[in-house]
Amino acid sequence: LKYFIFVIIYIFAFVNVNGQAKFTASGPEVVEIGETFQVSFTINTDGKKVSFPSFKGFNILSGPNTSSSKSIQFINGQVSQNISYTYSFYLSAQQTGNLKIDPASIIVKGKKIFSNPLNIQVIKGSGNNAKSAGNTGNKLNKTSENDIVAPNKNKDLFVRILTNKKTVYQGEQLIATIKVYTRLNLIGFDEMKFPSYAGFWSDEIKVPEQISLHREAINGKIYNVGVLKKIILTPQKQGNLIIDPFELTCVVRQRVPTNPNDFFGSFFGSYKQKKIKVVSPKVTIHVKPLPHTNDTAFKGAVGNFKFKTSIDNTETTENKPITLKVQISGNGNLRLFDIPQVNLPPDFEIYDPKETTNIRKSELGTHGTRTIEYLFIPRHAGNFTLPPIKFTWFDTKTKKYKTISSDPVQIKVKKDNGSNNQIITSTYSKEDIKYLGKDIHFIKQKVKKFTRKDNFLVSHIGFYLWYIIGLVFFTIIIVWRRKQIKENANLAKTRNKKAMRTAKKRLKNAEQYLKTENSIKFYEELGKALWLLLADKLNIPLSELTKQQAQEKLTALKIDKDFIKSYFELIETTEYQRFAPENNQSSLKDFYSKALNNIIKMNTKLK
């Protein structure tokens, strides 16, 4: 007991509490009038005399509700303590408009600190908001409502491709964001078909695999919105370029009307899953040609750049290498323009340049650095001048061409007294000397063996033997090909034959994700394996196959009902776990074994 008390005292004596006090307010940025939502104030240290704002324009339904959390961490022998106190209010808005919640205050170590203010947009809404607003994941995207129009059909579920620019110059980058808007109970996605981006160079911006929904107000209604993909597009030609529609099949959960006499059904409710396909409108981008320029230093760079050069040595001896480094940094089409041209004296031998890149992709576009190293060797002594290197680009902010030129570099090359090489006359370039070496050839001293003119190939038995072997081989190929065509003519038989092979590929992928503990991809691959086996065995396209249709087909084939139920329970589990994944490794292994056994049994029963 004494030892335990000593350890506790030691921990709290040396614990490192986060020194800087942070007092933050959080809440949704858009709500409907009358909707209940939560606003929270969080402090990361002990404080006293908390003062809250008046919440003018809001009804206080509950609060302040206080909660706290404390944690101690041991990292590299150091102990740190995290403290958090949260004060929550449940509010509802009394009027529409942009309302402001003033900062709250608290006294920490004798000093009063304030939280950030909150700006909340209150809309009239339809009384059927997409989801109750909480204090996390509800940021309002600033996209203009004029850019987003709900379709006539499926007003509660649609997809859009939003671009930050509609008119650009050739080579100027724009950002395309693919979003899904829903007021339904969206539980997953089945199929996605992305545009081809014809006429653009595309770079994908990394977004979280686990799609989180936030709230946006569109035409007076609140939608839950998820970002599916962000792409940097660089137009490669002028004119009106079309971004093809994006197609998405969504899986939603809908409530099924129940018998009013069924007490448990009406109390708990009954739900079914439904697949809805939505298609975004095409997007037109007007690409203007770049202004005409006669500057030969322009190699297609468009954006905002910096340019600098450096050389590792300005005094050297004959046949000693020198490295000239050119660095281009900034934001724009960094990877798509040619490197600057370097003009060297004819007495210098230059090698192919070495290029390294450090390019990042974000919502600002592609930005980073391109570094080009030119290695050249002076072949004889003398004083030489490297002419300036020019770099020209089209600045998208000023809409003008800009040029940066490096300073000329003086290089002094000393004679290498230890070298026996002869000095090459400066009137000859490297190319001239190359061709001089090809003018005269040596006399051949060794003569190859000659063959008699009357010794013809057709007089050998091997000539006819090769004809016979080729004819036999050709016959075998014809027979095998006809057999394959005959088998492929029966599409159902072919799909049935390849069903298990396709499922095994998905199972192998799932096993790899199991080893890397990527539970989302693990369940996605298992779900595809279960569905694809059914589609191939029942000879029904996967896009047309539904749970009810598959169950009816299996029942008609006299498959055991308990096995059918067990099989579809696995499918439902994979769809649920993709959005609420379980990371327990042993549970994932058990589920993999169960899915594998069911796939093998289903394959056996449907042979």
pLDDT in tens, 427-484: 334 444 444 444 455 566 666 666 665 555 556 677 678 778 888 888 898 888 877 7
CATH assignment, 12-123? 2.60.40.10
Strands 322-332 and 298-311, how do they pair?
antiparallel
Please list the residues that pair with 207 across neighbouring strands: none
pLDDT in tens, 137-174: 444 343 444 445 445 466 888 999 999 999 999 999 99
Type of residue numbered 123: I
**DSSP, res 19:** -
* CATH 2.60.40.740 for the 298-416 domain, yes or no: yes
Please list the residues that pair with 40 across neighbouring strands: 26, 88
Is the backbone of residue 319 left (phi > 0), alpha (psi -120 to 50) or beta?
left
Confidence class of residue 303 from pLDDT cuts 50, 70 and 90?
A: very high
pLDDT in tens, 534-555: 888 777 777 777 888 888 888 8
Rounded to the nearest 10 degrees, the angle between the axes of helix 547-556 and helix 519-538 is 50
pLDDT in tens, 65-100: 888 777 766 566 566 667 788 888 888 887 888 888
Same fold for the pair 12-123 and 298-416: yes
* CATH 1.20.120 for the 491-605 domain, yes or no: yes
**DSSP, res 133:** B
145-288: which CATH architecture? Sandwich (2.60)
Higher pLDDT, 54 or 438: 54
Q: Where are the domains of the chain?
A: 12-123, 145-288, 298-416, 491-605
Are the C-beta atoms of residues 323 and 307 closer than 8 Å to each other?
no
Confidence class of residue 25 from pLDDT cuts 50, 70 and 90?
A: confident
pLDDT in tens, 478-504: 888 877 766 655 555 666 667 788 888
- Confidence (pLDDT) at 557: 83
Q: Is the pLDDT of residue 129 over 70?
A: no
Task: Count CB-CB contacts under 10 A for residue 561.
Answer: 11
Q: What pTM, to 2 d.p., does this model score?
A: 0.54
Burial of 601 (0-12, 13-18, 19+ CB in 10 A): middle
As a whole number, the mean pLDDT across the chain is 78
Integer Cα distance of 256 and 252 in angstroms:
12
Are the C-beta atoms of residues 94 and 36 closer than 8 Å to each other?
no
- Confidence (pLDDT) at 166: 92
Integer Cα distance of 173 and 233 in angstroms:
6
